[in-house]
Amino acid sequence: MTDTLTLKITSPVSCLCDFTYNFYWQHKGSELEPNTPIPDQSGSDHTYQDLVEHLISGGDVHITGNPGSRLASSLGVDLKYFGGSGKAIETGSIIIDGDTGTRMGISMVSGRIYVSGTVSEPMGNVVEVVSDMKGYRCFKSITDILHNGMEDDEFYNTKNIINEGEIPYLRLADGVLRDTIGARNNRNANIEIEGDVALSTGILMRNGIISIEGNAGMNTGTLLSGGTVMVKGNVGEFAAANMRAGNLIFTGKTLGYMCANMHGGAVFIKSDVKVIPPIKKCQPTSNDLKMLMDILETNRLDAMMYRKYAIC
């Protein structure tokens, strides 16, 4: 029988079961200390770290009440900042008797989340599957599905489809707005999204292609480390921020601040944009043109209309 840690909260609390502790490396404890008791809990004295370590040990966490935003952020990531490998690890499940706030499961790579109530959008890197627990909805990591397949699961919304194989193909057409789609994906896979996406699509992705048939929010391609993100629409501010490798392609406009602190890779767009040095406009290579023709399914003349921004 799985060991279960129980927590009852009387008002919404953000960053529960958050493996990053609200991106601890940015605030260094000014916003959240892992070993401090969780506020507004009843009948217990659990810390944020208690929840994370219990999940890492394979135990489940059962929360009664309504968690705030960023529940289960980076669930299943053995983070290097805290001395880990940076790879995915198996975890226990999170069970919520209540409603969850926005950004549930951002950058999540393993585990499951069960929710009895509503889940606010944007969600994170998760998709709903048919639940094996009566009275609860079940959510699974998109990256986990790409790496390990569906196993015995089925999508709850039949508009979503996956063709498993040497190069998996996943199409999400359920209309759910999501952050961090494809986070930390290492597999050569094709992901298509029907509709708009929110923050940080492709964050820390190393392989594969994400195609978005709509607009993308802020930080698209941030920390992209390989593979390609293609947006058939506009992108928000700070596209390609801290990008390391790979390609970001978009057919529409950018809201500005593109390529901030970019270290590698390339951005392709048809219009001239302002970028921050050392990034500048470069001459596309023959391989670039072939890549654009393949991914955009277009001809050479159209591919030649794209400007390339990179370190060159």
What tens digit of pLDDT does each residue of 42-82 get? 999 999 999 999 999 999 999 999 999 999 999 999 999 99
**What's the Cα-to-Cα distance from 25 to each of 18, 89, 160, rounded to whole Å?**
13, 21, 36
The CATH number corresponding to 195-312 among 3.40.50.10330, 1.10.1270.20, 3.40.980.10, 2.160.20.60 equals 2.160.20.60
What tens digit of pLDDT does each residue of 223-280 get? 999 999 999 999 999 999 999 999 999 999 999 899 999 999 999 999 999 898 899 9
E-state strands within the chain: 4-8, 60-64, 94-97, 112-115, 126-129, 137-141, 161-163, 169-172, 190-194, 209-213, 225-231, 245-250, 266-269, 280-282, 307-310
pTM (predicted TM-score)? 0.95
* pLDDT (0 to 100) of residue 277: 86
Q: What angle do CA 14, 96, 127 make, to 5 degrees?
A: 85
What are the sequence ranges of the domains in the chain? 1-157, 195-312
Q: How confident is the model at residue 1 (pLDDT cuts 50, 70, 90)?
A: low
What tens digit of pLDDT does each residue of 197-227 get? 999 999 999 999 999 999 999 999 999 999 9
